[in-house]
Each structure stands twice: as C-alpha cells, then as structure tokens.
C-alpha cells in the first residue's frame, strides 16, 4: 500500500501559500495588492500558481517535521512507494521532493488540472491512481478528513485534538507525531514583552524635569508606555513574519515562532492587527501630538522592515532614531519639551548601541566562518569600521554628558550638581565594557536584552539613579 504524505502542516510546520505571500509582499509590494483580486477572479489554485511563478522559497530552510521525515524514510526503506500529495504549487512540491530525496512521486496543484489539490479534490485524485482504500494517507488538518474517508489506512501528524478526534471516527489512527504545543506561549514570544524595556525611555522627559511626583503627568506617561508597547509588539510580529527566511538562516533566530513554525502565519496576522488596534484605541486618551509620534514610529519601522534594513548605515541610523522617538513620544504625552542635552546624548548613545547590535551579528558570522549575513548589507570585513564608529559614538555621548554637567542650566535643576560628576566614570566604564564584551563575542545581539540581564549594568543603573537623586535633594 503506497504512503501518501501531505506537505503543509504535516511534512513542514508551516504553510507555503502564506509564506510565499509574505515574500511577495516584501519583494513586490504593489503586486501583492492584486492577490485578493486574483482570488476573486481566478480562484485559489490559480492564485497559488501566480504567486509561485513570482516567488522562490528556499526549501532547504523550511521547518520540517522530524518525526514525519523519519516515518517516511523508514517506510520507503522497507520498499513502500511514497508520494508527496499536497495542495501547494507544483514548483514548490517538486523542490521539496528533490531536496529531501525520499519521494517517488509528487502530486500538487498545477496548471494542467487547474484545481486546488485539497480535501475532496485530493481524495478523488488519489482514488484515481490507487483506488479507494488502496493507500495510506498522512495528514494534519480538517481538509484531510475527506481524504481519510477514502484511505485504506489513516495516519495523523501535528494535528489538533479536534482533527485527531475527527480522524478516529473514521477508523483506526496511527499518530506519527504529537499535536503541536499551544500557540499561547509562541504568541507571547512573538510579542517580545521583554523588548518593552525600551519603552521606559518614555518616562525620561518626566524624570529629567523632576516631575515624577505629578500624578496626572505620570498617568499620561503610563498610558503612552502601554500604547507604545502594543504598537511596538505589532511591529515585532510583522517584522518576524517578513523575516522568516533570513531568520531561518540565522543560528539563533531560527527558533523564533514564525521561523520555526511554532506560530501559524494567519494567527500572527491576527495578533499583529489586534495589538495595533488596542494601541490605537489608547491614543484617544492621549494628546494628538503623541499620535503623530506613534505614526512616525510606525511608518519608520515599516520602511525599515520592508526595505531600509538592507541599506548599510541607514539601518543603524534608523535603529538609533527609534530609541530617540520614544523620548520624543514621552515629551508629546506630557507636554514637557526635551532639552538639547537630552536629545544629543540619546542620539549618540543609541547610535553606539545600534552599532553594538550589528557588530555582534557580524562577529557571530565570523565565528561560523561566513562572510555575508542574510538580509543585511554588511560583511565581516566591516567589523573594524563598525567597532570604530560604535566606540566613537559611545564616548561622544559621555562627552555630551560632561558638557551638560558643566552647563549653567544644571544649577537650576540640581541642589548639588557637583555630585553628578560621579556618574562620569560609571558611564565610561559601562560603555567601555559593553564594547569590550562585544569585541570578545560575549554580547547578545540585542544590547537592551543584555543590559537587562547583566548584573553589572543593573548595578550601574541603580547607582546612576541614586547619584542623580542625591544631587537633587536639599540636605
């Protein structure tokens, strides 16, 4: 009895139609807008083929189900004929079969039949080839229930409890791979709540103006923090969906929810829209200028995600600018005008941290004996330049801090401004240590995550706050 294996969700932990559509959005955005019209006019099968004709997928990076692959190879080694039977486009199915080398035949959606090879259509095709009850079918979704009705043997992989129960009503079931884990954990990971640490910058204008005790302004800042966090999470989800292929080529990012297939793309799209809608709803409680800053942030991140992240230096400038936008958003939420010194310091320090991020990525690439990273415009040959630029920018930030402490304005803000000089050696130590650890390859590629986990960074942060508080007290 031949073994027929489904592809999307069964052999691979993803759906090729959604993946190819995301790549189309990223590479041919205006053409992607035609997809709804293709669906209405030509149907699902023709739409799949139109997208496949314009988009290539690197099948070597797809998240294959280890248990399914082992099952297929074991049965083929015993002499069974194995068929890849999928509703995906023929070109993608052929590429997967060629890459894996464990399929004797490929059945997929193609131009000759002009129909989507799924559900009843797939059952009819398999019945024509092998006769009703003359094959074993391995699938995972509700669309596979009509095929199991006609199959001689039922095998299930990576299915939900509802699908598994439906299959068991049709006959004995062999479970090849257990149901995937709940999407809740993957959803939380995709939202990256730890990255909300960056949004603490929204409170900086309030803190620097010594007005943290103002309840109304503090409430505005908290609302701005929540709205900005939800908006940023929406952007993170979108960015991860657009970066699926480049993330799979990365030694660490390949475990991200979309790259690994732990989170379905349709669910990710709903998650992105939901968090963005909540963020926009909170804007009704905040000043209009804050909404303007949010719009600037969102459009900038979209431009970064679609195109500008591949432009050298431009990507670094944008990353550092997104930090400064958070400070400006905090100012817009409270009506507190940021000082020249605050903006100057933030530009230089965040440029240095953005360069840390890129340097760490290139350093990890060099360790793996590679030269060029996927989806970026840098190579390991740029390491020396990135190091020089990053160190210079970090020390420029410290110089701005020194000039601020020595400025006449400081006397109106602090009772004992001379105490602030204690901050200088602490900041010099911190930025020097950051770059030394980065050069040694000991830096997480996101310096914010590193700083949040590094005990020395936390101690320095508390010490800087204590010194600033002591400088402002009257004793």
Q: What is the pTM of this model?
A: 0.85
Burial 273-291 (b: 16+ CB within 10 A, else e): eebbebbbebbeebeeebb
The structure tokens 């004995």 sit at 172
The DSSP secondary structure of 161-230, one letter per residue, reads HHHHHHHHTTS-EEEEEPPPPPHHHHHHHHH-GGGGGGGGGGGHHHHHTT-TT-HHHHHHHHHHHHHHHH
Distance (Å, rounded) from C-alpha 405 to C-alpha 409?
9
pLDDT number for residue 373: 64
pLDDT for 372:
66
Distance between CA atoms of 388 and 381, rounded to whole angstroms?
Answer: 13
Residue entry with tokens 């998650």? 271
Those residues with Cβ within 8 angstroms of residue 309's Cβ, 6 or more apart along the chain or in another chain: 315, 318, 375, 376
Domain with CATH 3.40.50.1000 in the chain: 3-180
Q: What is the Cα gyration radius of the chain?
A: 27
Give the contacts of 93 (CB within 8 A, at least 6 positions apart): 7, 84, 86, 106, 107, 108
Q: What is the pLDDT along the chain (475 residues), one digit of tens a residue?
A: 999 999 999 999 999 999 999 999 988 888 999 999 999 998 999 999 999 999 999 999 999 999 999 999 999 999 999 999 999 999 999 999 999 999 999 999 998 877 899 999 999 999 999 999 999 999 999 999 999 999 999 999 999 989 999 999 999 999 998 876 678 889 999 999 888 888 999 999 998 888 888 899 999 999 999 999 999 999 999 999 998 988 898 777 888 999 999 999 999 999 999 999 999 999 999 999 999 999 999 999 988 888 788 888 898 999 899 999 999 999 999 999 988 999 999 999 999 999 998 898 888 777 776 766 655 677 888 889 999 999 999 999 999 999 999 988 888 888 888 999 999 999 999 999 999 999 988 886 678 778 888 899 999 999 999 998 898 887 6
Residue 152 confidence (pLDDT): 96
Give the pLDDT score at 370.
Answer: 72
Residues of the chain with CATH 1.10.600: 184-472
Token digits of residue 5: 């294996």
**The pLDDT of residue 335:** 92
User: What is the pLDDT, as a whole number, of residue 446?
Assistant: 77
Check if the beta carbon of residue 128 is closer than 8 Å to that of residue 120.
Answer: no
Distance between CA atoms of residues 323 and 353, nearest Å: 10
Q: Output the pLDDT for position 65.
A: 95
Which residues contact residue 287 at a Cβ distance below 8 angstroms, ignoring those fewer than 6 apart? 220, 332, 333, 335
* CATH T-level assignment (fold) for domain 3-180: Rossmann fold (3.40.50)
Is the distance from CB of 51 to CB of 20 less than 8 angstroms? Answer: yes
Pick the CATH number of 184-472 from 1.20.272, 1.10.600, 1.20.1510, 3.40.50: 1.10.600
As a whole number of angstroms, the distance between CA 46 and CA 119 comes to 17
């Amino acid at each position: 009895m031949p073994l027929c294996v489904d592809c999307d969700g069964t052999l691979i932990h993803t759906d090729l139609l959604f993946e190819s559509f995301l790549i189309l959005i990223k590479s041919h955005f205006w053409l992607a807008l035609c997809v709804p019209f293709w669906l209405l006019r030509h149907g699902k099968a023709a739409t799949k083929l139109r997208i496949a004709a314009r988009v290539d997928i690197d099948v070597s990076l797809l998240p294959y189900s280890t248990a399914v692959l082992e099952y297929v190879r074991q049965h083929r080694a015993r002499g069974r004929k194995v068929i890849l039977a999928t509703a995906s486009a023929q070109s993608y199915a052929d590429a997967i079969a060629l890459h894996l080398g464990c399929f004797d035949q490929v059945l997929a959606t193609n131009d000759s039949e002009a129909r989507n090879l799924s559900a009843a259509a797939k059952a009819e095709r398999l019945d024509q080839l092998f006769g009703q009850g003359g094959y074993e079918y391995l699938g995972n979704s509700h669309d596979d229930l009509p095929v199991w009705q006609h199959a001689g043997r039922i095998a299930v992989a990576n299915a939900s409890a509802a699908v598994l129960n439906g299959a068991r009503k049709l006959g004995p079931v062999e479970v090849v791979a257990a149901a995937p884990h709940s999407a809740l954990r993957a959803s939380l990971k995709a939202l990256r709540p730890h990255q909300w640490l960056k949004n603490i910058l929204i409170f900086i204008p309030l803190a620097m103006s010594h007005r943290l005790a103002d309840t109304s302004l503090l409430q505005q800042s908290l609302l701005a923090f929540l709205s900005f966090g939800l908006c940023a999470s929406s952007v993170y989800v979108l960015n991860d969906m657009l970066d699926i292929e480049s993330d799979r080529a990365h030694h660490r990012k390949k475990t991200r929810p979309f790259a690994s297939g732990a989170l379905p793309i349709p669910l990710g799209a709903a998650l992105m829209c939901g968090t963005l809608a909540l963020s926009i709803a909170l804007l009704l409680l905040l000043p209009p200028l804050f909404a303007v800053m949010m719009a600037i942030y969102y459009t900038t991140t979209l431009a970064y995600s679609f195109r500008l992240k591949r432009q050298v230096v431009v990507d670094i400038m944008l990353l550092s600018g997104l930090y400064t936008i958070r400070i400006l958003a905090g100012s817009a939420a409270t009506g507190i005008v940021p000082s020249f010194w605050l903006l100057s310091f933030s530009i230089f320090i965040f440029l240095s941290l953005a360069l840390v991020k890129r340097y760490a990525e290139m350093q990890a690439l060099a360790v793996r004996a590679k030269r060029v990273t996927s989806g970026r415009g840098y190579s390991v040959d740029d390491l020396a330049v990135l190091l020089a630029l990053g160190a210079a920018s970090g020390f420029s930030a410290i110089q701005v801090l020194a000039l601020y402490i020595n400025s006449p304005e400081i006397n109106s803000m602090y009772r004992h401004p001379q105490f602030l000089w204690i901050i200088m050696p602490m900041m010099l130590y911190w930025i020097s240590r950051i770059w030394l650890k980065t050069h040694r390859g000991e830096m997480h590629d996101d310096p914010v995550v590193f700083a949040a986990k590094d005990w020395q960074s936390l101690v320095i942060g508390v010490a800087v706050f204590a010194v600033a508080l002591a400088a402002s007290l009257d004793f």
